Amino acid sequence: MLRSDFPPSFAFGLATAAYQIEGSVSADGRGDSIWDTFARRPGAIADGQTGEIADDHYRRMSDDVALLAELGVDAYRFSISWPRLQADGTGPVNPRGLDFYRRLAEELLDRGITPWVTLYHWDLPQALEDAGGWLDRDTARRFAEYAGLAADGLGDIVTNWITLNEPWCSAFLGYASGVHAPGRTEGSHAARAAHHLLLAHGLAVPVLREKVPDASVGVTLNLYSVRPDGDQPAAVDAARRIDGLSNRLFLDPVLTGSYPLDVLDDLGEAEWFARNASAADLASIAAPLDFLGVNYYSRHTVAPGVVETEASAYPGSASVEFVTTGAPRTQMGWEVVPEGLIDVLEMASARAPGLPLVVTENGSAFEDVVSSDGVVHDSERLEYLRDHLAACANAIARGLPLTGYFGWSLIDNFEWAWGYSRRFGLVHVDYETQQRTLKDSGSWLKAFLHERDSSVSGD
């Protein structure tokens, strides 16, 4: 597989997110986000780690842009920390916070790298959480205002905008299982947070279009290939439920303007949605997009099981069991199934034929070892990357309108509840010294992007 096997306009990039890399959490007037608060909660994050320093990217931004240029990417997807632009989630823009993202976008452009901005990668201003967070409809209106400030400040140099990253995680890990910030366990009410997140997306789309000439606007969903473990009706129903909660609850409203009623029934939320998710809301949520961002990591194989006693990320379907099939797994325990990427692209395309699709994240964590030569020989990550890029080529060959691929992630970073114990970077970070070193996977990508034969292992 060569880069030239892809269409010339295909965008190859890498992705990161603000709280995972920036550090400098109180610099230049930044306010607290829900992740700052959550990370201070005893037991919330592995080893009590926080994003206070992370990759110190806020101060090393120019070096990291140089790294992207060395790798030869076309595009870089980063997120804006909402509380850097509005410390409390309301009011005028904080010029010092905005300045950081402006300099970042300008440095990228100077090096011929196209910036892709994500407005919300999970760091809600804490003040808005204190006012109800995503369970409060008003947070959606606040988000649209924030989107307007970001567009006013960057719209002359940034055309690619992603409203939300993975609203499933924000809603169901944040408000149902509570393993992510804000750490609430509200059961099925988490679906209301999902609605308000989607509404936030829908209200922001016209704001971005109005303020950004030639804006290209999308939203990023984390989609899973879901299949039953066998053909027994109970397993098939388990797959319907998990596909419903993970995929259809988001894809359907965004791409077809309606919620899947079976999922609302599973959740016991049909009545709330009938009263609160108005036709006008759904029209907003289904605002025409320029692309759909798809984050793909793994496939779920499911069967009926026993009801979990802990708060579940799948309220109303907590008895579903996630089965391991014997496929290789990453350090996260996620099965490596490159062909599942084609399944999810087909799933999206079936609802919106012709809508350009972009893989906005795809990557893997493995236990990295720094060898005596100072390099991480991460053959498993390299194979994961290569095999998923091959799946992208395959998807295009099948006629799917896939126009870009962003690997997760440029550098090792703060992996949420896992702290720094899970490394997804193509570039290794020594957290003591902040030294960055290309892993073999990074060298492979660099050679691929420069279209040289790679002598790196894993071929």
List residues near ligand IFM by CB under 6 A: 17, 20, 166, 295, 361, 408, 415, 424
Does residue 361 carry a catalytic annotation? Answer: yes
- Which residue's CB comes closest to ligand IFM? 17
Closer by beta carbon to ligand IFM, 335 or else 415: 415
> Nearest approach, Cβ of 193 to ligand IFM (angstroms)?
17
Total length of the chain: 459
Does residue 166 carry a catalytic annotation? Answer: yes
Closer by beta carbon to ligand IFM, 73 or else 264: 73
CA 235/CA 10 separation, integer angstroms: 38
Q: What separation in angstroms does the CA of 208 have from each of 107, 145, 155, 156, 216?
A: 22, 10, 8, 12, 9
From the candidates 335, 361, 380, 383, which is the catalytic residue?
Answer: 361
Phi, psi angle pair for 394, to nearest 5°: -65, -45
> Nearest approach, Cβ of 414 to ligand IFM (angstroms)?
8
> Nearest approach, Cβ of 261 to ligand IFM (angstroms)?
28
Which residues in 374-391 are b (16+ Cβ under 10 Å) and which e?
ebbbbbbbbbbbbebbeb
CA 245/CA 224 separation, integer angstroms: 10
Closer by beta carbon to ligand IFM, 416 or else 448: 416
From the candidates 22, 107, 129, 166, which is the catalytic residue?
Answer: 166
> Nearest approach, Cβ of 226 to ligand IFM (angstroms)?
17
- 443-449-453 Cα angle (round to 5): 65
Closer by beta carbon to ligand IFM, 139 or else 331: 331
> Nearest approach, Cβ of 20 to ligand IFM (angstroms)?
6
CA 101/CA 153 separation, integer angstroms: 9
Closer by beta carbon to ligand IFM, 6 or else 414: 414
CA 398/CA 382 separation, integer angstroms: 24
The continuous run of DSSP H or E covering 322 comes out as strand 320-322
Q: What separation in angstroms does the CA of 393 have from each of 3, 5, 95, 245?
A: 10, 7, 42, 29
Q: Which residues does the annotation mark as catalytic?
A: 166, 361
